[in-house]
């Protein structure tokens, strides 16, 4: 493992639902084993900071995954709205001016720059006329985010090893697209996926896991299996 992070905080359960009550049910079902939860755009639009506050009141941590992307001043003002809310991690997209604006407004939370979404694959790069590889693009964006002062990045597990090799332990790496079993394509919208053990072994700090846990008949069994992988990868 790259950093001293409690096992309970390694997995960030993604509350990708449309109602506060659904999110609360998931938290209650998982909180005996997990202490970190992600609130994304869907839930935030439905419930604003109410669920965030509720999670924090229960003694857990929150990753606010809104991926801010707008003109720099708007991003700066948006980040200011998150300050002093108790959020541990927040995500941003953007070029240099946007990232600088977000960092200028950052309080005590950590800012993560999104490199390339895990739903984006090599074929998408070709369709957009981009040259090079996805790994090169992720590394370029991660290196720039680190140089500008971001605390870390969001990256697929497929690129984590390369990021660690080039950038060392200076940045926090949060990895979505975690799936049980073999690293194969899934039938959902995630393209670049890895297992929990593989991501940690490559150097990821936190793993964002949604559907494999939230749609499982026994979420704790899935969590325990992934945590066993995490420990085994240490």
38 belongs to the catalytic site: no
CA dist list (Å): 57 to 52, 100, 214: 9, 31, 21
Q: Which of 8, 67, 76, 185 is catalytic?
A: 67
**168-185 b/e with 16+ CB inside 10 Å = b?**
eeebbbbbbbbbeeeeee
Q: Please give the Cα distance from 161 to 34 (Å, whole number).
A: 25
Alpha carbon separation from 144 to 79, 82, 132, 167, 230 (Å, rounded): 20, 23, 17, 11, 29
DSSP string, 205-216: SEEEE-HHHHT-
Query: Would you name the residues annotated as active-site residues?
Result: 67
């Amino acid at each position: 493992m790259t950093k001293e992070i409690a096992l309970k905080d390694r997995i960030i359960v993604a509350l990708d639902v449309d109602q506060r009550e659904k999110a609360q049910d998931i938290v209650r079902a998982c909180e005996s084993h997990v202490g970190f939860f992600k609130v994304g755009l869907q839930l935030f639009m439905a419930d604003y900071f109410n669920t965030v506050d509720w999670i924090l009141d229960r003694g857990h941590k929150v990753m606010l995954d809104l991926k801010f992307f707008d003109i720099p001043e708007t991003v700066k003002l948006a980040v200011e709205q998150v300050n002093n809310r108790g959020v541990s991690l927040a995500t941003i997209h953007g070029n240099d001016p946007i990232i600088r604006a977000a960092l200028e407004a950052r309080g005590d939370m950590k800012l993560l720059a999104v490199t390339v979404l895990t739903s984006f694959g090599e074929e998408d790069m070709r369709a957009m006329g981009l040259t090079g590889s996805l790994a090169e693009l992720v590394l370029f964006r991660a290196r720039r985010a680190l140089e500008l002062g971001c605390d870390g990045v969001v990256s697929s597990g497929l690129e984590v090893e390369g990021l660690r090799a080039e950038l060392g332990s200076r940045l926090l790496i949060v990895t979505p697209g975690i799936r049980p079993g073999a690293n194969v394509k899934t039938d959902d919208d995630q393209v670049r996926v890895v297992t929990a053990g593989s991501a940690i072994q490559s150097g990821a700090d936190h793993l964002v896991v949604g559907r494999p846990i939230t749609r499982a008949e026994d979420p704790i069994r899935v969590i325990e299996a992934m945590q066993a992988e995490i420990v085994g990868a240490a």
